[in-house]
Amino acid sequence: MPEGHTIHRYARLQTQALGDTSLRMSSPQDRASEAAEALDGRRIERIDAYGKHLLYRFEDELSLHVHLGLFGRFRTWRAPAPPPRDTIRLRFDAGERVIDLSGATASHLIDPATEAKMLARLGPDPLRPGADPERAWEALRRRRIPIGAALLDQNVIAGIGNVYRAEILFACGLDPILPAKTIKRAEWEEIWETTRAMLRTGERSGRIVTVPASESKGAPSKLRGRDRVQVYRREQCRRCGTKVRMKEISARNLFWCPTCQPRRRRLA
DNA sequence: AAGAATGTTATGTA
DNA sequence: CTACATAACATTCT
């Protein structure tokens, strides 16, 4: 099973490696070669993350847009690294370490106008300081789609993926098929705060961990695989043992516990 | 070795 | 404008 990964995790890892990082080569493929040529030898000054979009700021105001998509991966080698395989798009040289990028849906230069357009389409990212939850709330109120679909919609809220949407709804005790517009204000506030807390934990621990802190004993790395989550891709609910349900929503498999996330009672 | 997987955008239709 | 389906794109693992 592939190791759990999120954009935020890699954003953090990359930031740590920033000390003296430069771009060193292009891949044999020409997909990213334009970027590689333009950026060759330049230092990274900063990495900005908006949802799952990463913006690498290089010297001379050059920006590299990276989106890992479903298959994208950074692989870190201790130098000297083996020759890059032919799926490697870009290789970063961080001194002791060498970081290879493969599989990303985006890894190219981006100009300020294009970047602005891209960011304008994103809902607030709960990890960014100053993110405005009201924008997402306003969007929710207009949508009839299930809340389970809305949480994946980057126009509504940016940065939640398929694992987190399941785990957030579990933590909030919400039935995933509830129409977004029926979510109550207090429930929304809980969703937002839960999301922030979960993503921050993910950033800190470098993996997705959604079980209560009391259960991970402050050492989430000791939990393995499916034991780091409550419902996602589990047979049984980690809290109550009920058989976990699965349904395709937004073209992804959504998992939930019918006991911990009951259907909302109709009001009399 | 087909199929699934932690993602997103574009496009057409209603 | 919202919604829904489909295709496209990227790669690795079992």
Same domain, A113 and A128: no
* Residue A21 pLDDT > 70: no
**A103 nearest nucleotide via C1' and CA:** C10
CB A43 within 8 A of CB A17: no
Q: Are residues A67 and A167 in the same domain?
A: no
Q: Which of A50, A64, A127, A128 is nearest to A101 (CA)?
A: A64
Is residue A236 within a helix (H) or strand (E), and if so which, with residue range? none
User: A23 lies in which domain range?
Assistant: 4-120
Name the nucleotide nearest A250; use CA and C1': C4
Residue matched to tokens 């621990």: A205
CA distance A170 to A183: 15
A127 and A80 within one domain: no
| Cβ atoms of residues A64 and A43 within 8 Å | no
What is the pLDDT, as a whole number, of residue A40? 79
- A97-108: average pLDDT: 87
Give me the mean pLDDT over the A2-29 stretch: 42
Mean pLDDT of chain A: 83
Residue A15 pLDDT level (bands cut at 50, 70, 90): very low
Is residue A265 one of the residues assigned to a domain? no
**Known catalytic membership, residue A146:** no
CA of residue A218 to C1' of nucleotide B1, angstroms: 42
Catalytic (active site) residue A212: no
Query: What pLDDT score was predicted for residue A147?
Result: 96
**Integer CA distances (angstroms), A97 to A16, A32, A213, in order:** 11, 21, 32
Q: Tell me the pLDDT tens digit for each residue of A192-201.
A: 999 999 988 8
Whether the predicted pLDDT of A50 surpasses 50: yes
A251 — pLDDT class (breaks 50, 70, 90): very high
| CB within 7 A of strand C (chain A, 91-150) | 102-105, 139, 142-145, 149
Decide if A2 is catalytic. yes
Last residue of a domain, one of A73, A101, A120: A120
> Final residue of a domain: which of A93, A120, A147?
A120
One-letter-per-residue 3-state SS of A147-200: HHHHCCCCCCCCCCCHHHHHHHHHHCCCCCCCEHHHCCHHHHHHHHHHHHHHHH
A247 part of a folded domain: yes
CA–CA gap between residue A135 and residue A122 (Å, rounded): 10
pLDDT band at A170 (very low <50, low <70, confident <90, very high): very high
A229 or A206: whose pLDDT is higher? A229
Do A148 and A173 sit in the same domain of this protein? yes
Taking residues A10-23, report their average pLDDT: 46
Task: Give the closest residue to A9 by CA, choosing from A220, A235, A227, A246.
Answer: A220
What pLDDT was estimated at residue A110? 92
Residues A115 and A158 in one domain: no
Which residue gives the smallest C-alpha to C1' distance to C4?
Answer: A250
Residue A10, domain member (yes or no): yes
pLDDT over 60 (residue A31): no
Q: Is A208 helix (H, G, I), strand (E, B) or coil?
A: coil
pLDDT value at residue A14: 42
Establish if A261 belongs to a structural domain.
no
Give the count of alpha carbons within 13 A of A252, CB side only. Answer: 20
